[in-house]
Amino acid sequence: MAIKFNVIAEDNKTYARLGKLRTGRNEIETPVFMPVGTQATVKGLTPQEVVETGGRIILANAYHLYLRPGAELIKEAGGLHRFMNWPGSILTDSGGFQVFSLAKLNKINDNGLVFQSHIDGSYHDFTPEKAIQVQMDLGADIIMAFDQCTGFGVNYEQAQQASERTTRWAERCLETHTRGDQALFGIVQGNFYPELRERSLKELVALDFPGYALGGLSVGESREEMQKILRSFGPKLPGGKPRYLMGVGTPEDLLEGMVWGIDMFDCVFPTRTGRTGSLFTRGGRINIRNSKYKNDFSSLEAKCNCRVCSGYTKAYLHHLFRQKEILGMRLATYHNLFFLAQLMAEAREAIGRGDFARYRNDFLAEYQ
């Protein structure tokens, strides 16, 4: 078994659960937030710093790494962990979402697709087999099936075709995958049509993946639409296996996901917004570039024990962002990841006590 997963405790009033995910690298307490290291680096931070912030598993993008520097080069380097000097676990996504959102999708049929690189416009054939081969070369601990993602608003027939294709591709992914030290997760599609979601779920569960993701979200839908799918399908994902909600990472959405039984999350949100000067505090997000922080010599968040909050003032962070200094982006990224990891740790503790609903309410009352 590439991974071992145990549910240790369940919350009293919600579907939230406390778990342990064991990979070949380390033991990860769930629910867990996975920082995103798109191009084999969590932008601005060293691996050691990601660990310091509480990071135990990061997400890297097969699509980006396939294009640059190439999966074979990373294989030659001894795999992604070694290439980027990351001591924890890694999950790679298959590229399905990036082909849908970043690349120009030129042709798609049952066999696979042709896309044009968002970097140089070059053409690339991709198939489920190729996506798995790339991810085997990268060598992450958890890899994802290659799915067809559809946008919000596509009609029933289009959604159905993509969803059915995703199931057929899932079978081919399983057949291709041979690395015993990697766990291959399935991705439930079906767009925003509950009937299609039900069918996708049923078909994928029959394939007995060691973990399942809710995919095809964050594709232009409202928060409400997303939550509808989450509420209906979060609790229906197999209970003995890790449940992964892809592309979610605001404090509000993480807490909502946990309510509905989600164990794993990833998102560029904390790191990307951090680089623009948007910083998490207990009282909500602030934009440190705002001139009201120019003379504010207090720390960013009194209740935060991270190096940024203990070492620097808001006035200094403001100065760094106004001067476009690299250190500003670094410190913001570090703090935001620390803040989310702290949120997750507190949430896990609350779940363990059976008291998650109250924790969530208290957090949101202060945050919003």
- Fill in the amino acid letter for 219: V
172-198 core/surface letters (b: 16 or more CB in 10 A; e: else): bbbebbeeeebbbbbbbbbbbbeebbe
Closest CB to a copy of itself among residues 222, 324? 324
Q: Which of 116, 319, 345, 353 binds a copy of itself (CB under 8 A)?
A: 319
Query: What does the block give as tokens for 263?
Result: 């164990």
Q: What are phi and psi of 63, to 5 degrees?
A: -60, -50
Q: To the nearest whole angstrom, how small is the minimum distance from the Cβ of residue 11 to a copy of itself?
A: 38
| Per CB under 8 A, 22 contacts a copy of itself | no
The DSSP line for 267-324 is -SHHHHHHHTTEEEETTEEEETTSGGGTT--S-S-TT--SHHHHH--HHHHHHHHHTT
| Per CB under 8 A, 337 contacts a copy of itself | no
Task: Determine the interface stretch with a copy of itself among 103-111, 150-158, 167-175, 328-336 (rule: CB under 8 A).
Answer: 328-336
Whether residue 266 lies in the annotated active site: yes
What is the end-to-end Cα distance of the chain in Å, rounded? 42
Whether residue 93 lies in the annotated active site: yes
| Per CB under 8 A, 292 contacts a copy of itself | no
Q: Which of 33, 83, 97, 356 binds a copy of itself (CB under 8 A)?
A: 83
Using DSSP bridges, classify how beta strands 89-93 and 104-108 pair: parallel, antiparallel or unpaired.
Answer: unpaired
Closest CB to a copy of itself among residues 64, 348? 64
Q: Which of 322, 345, 353, 355 binds a copy of itself (CB under 8 A)?
A: 322
**237 DSSP assignment:** S
Query: What does the block give as tokens for 109?
Result: 């049929």
Enumerate residues 6+ apart whose C-beta is below 8 A from 88: 25, 26, 47, 50, 51, 55, 56, 57, 58
| Per CB under 8 A, 106 contacts a copy of itself | no
Active-site entry in 93, 147, 253, 263: 93
Closest CB to a copy of itself among residues 59, 329? 329
* Residues within the interface to a copy of itself (CB under 8 A): 39-41, 43-47, 68-69, 73, 76-78, 83-85, 294-295, 297, 307, 311-313, 315-316, 318-320, 322-323, 325-327, 329-331
Residues acting as catalytic residues: 93, 266
